[in-house]
Chain A
Amino acid sequence: MLTDRKKWFFKGLKDGIPIMLGYFAVSIALGISARNAGMTAPQATIASALIMASAGQYIGFTLIAASASYAEVIVMEAIANARYLLMSTALSQKVDPKLPLRHRLLMGLWITDEIFGVSVSVEGRLNPWYNYGMAAVATPGWALGTLAGVVLGNVLPVRVVSALSVGLFGMFMSIFVPPMRKNRIIAALVAVSFAASYAFNAMALFSGISSGMKIIILTVVISLGAALLFPVEGEDGHAA
């Protein structure tokens, strides 16, 4: 059991490295927005270390800059982060049903798009130590990138930031592409998701909707459609 923990924790540390690099790059922009909102370096760094949500923090910082009410900030934060409800539900089916409460409470701290994406793709049951390993390297990446954004502003070469920022998408692709080879329904689903996401972004009708909201609407509609048309049989179902 102990060696199992160790194995998963170290695997998490290793798989967390690309997340850390991507986070560092992406959160520089977030740090710049925090500075523009009048936040200090410690405030922005603490916010990032705790909250770890790109869209959510960006919206929050914008509202802080506008001196919005606490209630407004909380409501917008809930909307921007609503997709984590789905991710948390999926993880609840991925962990051992007997997993103790303390591990569930800890795992919840670090449900981000990337940590979720990587952890949900492991074979069989998910060991929480895998998430802790990833969080241990990803969190400093996110917090220090934010700090760098506040302190350095636009000093970093744009080309470097631009290159680093696609790292996260590369990770996403390495997760959703391999199953496309084995499962034609998933292949079709990814194609539909690309097309729908493109259309959703292109239509002026939806331009007022936040990106977090778009993700959740598309995810619910497309996944539900797929579930009704192509229900998954047997063991496969809980591999999600």
Chain B
Amino acid sequence: MQHNVYLYILGMWAVSYLIRVLPLTLIRREITNKTIRSFLYYVPYVTLAVMTFPAILSATQSPVSGALALVLGLALAWFGGSLFQVSVACCAVVFVAELAMGL
């Protein structure tokens, strides 16, 4: 069967959009259940931490430069670096480290 690429794209978009928009539109009230509130309070931190590690080690050409970016990013963010500063510093350390390693 011949498939139309634009139909694939439309299908992918529609299902992604429904997933993203349904809770936001259907849950109109504040949730009062303490467990659910606590769960939702912890979700962002856990999900961001899980996405960062160990993925950062394989995002770069060498796990060493990824690890350097991780350590620098954690330290800078701990000592109050802004979103932009931390992000740019991580990129810079990878660039310099890989240059030094001759990659």
Contacts and interface: CB of A to CB of B under 8 A. Distances in A.
Given A53-B16, A84-B19, A240-B42, A219 B47 contact: yes
B77 A177 contact: yes
A190 interface: yes
Interface of B: 1, 3, 5-9, 11-17, 19-31, 34-56, 59-61, 65-66, 69-70, 73-74, 76-78, 80-92, 94-95, 98-99, 103
A7 B31 CA distance: 29
Nearest to A158: B61
Given A43-B9, A85-B22, A104-B24, A190 B49 contact: yes
A152 interface: no
B37 A237 contact: yes
B12 A170 contact: no
Contacts of B51: 113, 172, 215
Contacts of A108: 17, 20-21, 24-25
A37 B37 CA distance: 42
A169 B73 contact: yes
Nearest to A225: B42
A156 interface: no
Contact of B41 (A113, A219, A237): A237
The dominant DSSP class at the B interface is helix
B21 A223 contact: no
Contacts of A91: 23-24
Interface band, chain A: 35 or more
22 contacts: A14-B84, A22-B87, A43-B9, A64-B5, A84-B19, A92-B28, A95-B24, A104-B25, A111-B24, A160-B95, A163-B92, A166-B69, A174-B86, A176-B44, A177-B78, A189-B46, A189-B49, A193-B49, A215-B51, A226-B46, A227-B36, A238-B37
B80 to A, nearest CB: 7
B43 to A, nearest CB: 5
A226 B27 contact: no
Contacts, number: 311
A223 B16 contact: no
Given A88-B24, A167-B90, A174-B77, A74 B30 contact: no
Contacts of B38: 226-227, 230-232, 237
B44 A166 contact: no
Contacts of A228: 35
Interface of A: 14-15, 17-18, 21-22, 39-40, 43, 46-47, 50-53, 56-57, 60, 63-64, 67, 70, 73-74, 77-78, 81-93, 95, 97, 101, 104-105, 107-109, 111, 113, 116-118, 120-121, 158-160, 162-181, 186, 189-190, 193-194, 196-198, 201, 211, 214-215, 218-219, 222-224, 226-228, 230-232, 236-240
B95 to A, nearest CB: 4
B47 A86 contact: yes
Contact of B27 (A93, A165, A201): A93
A226 B42 contact: yes
B13 to A, nearest CB: 4
Contact of A197 (B15, B49, B74, B84): B49
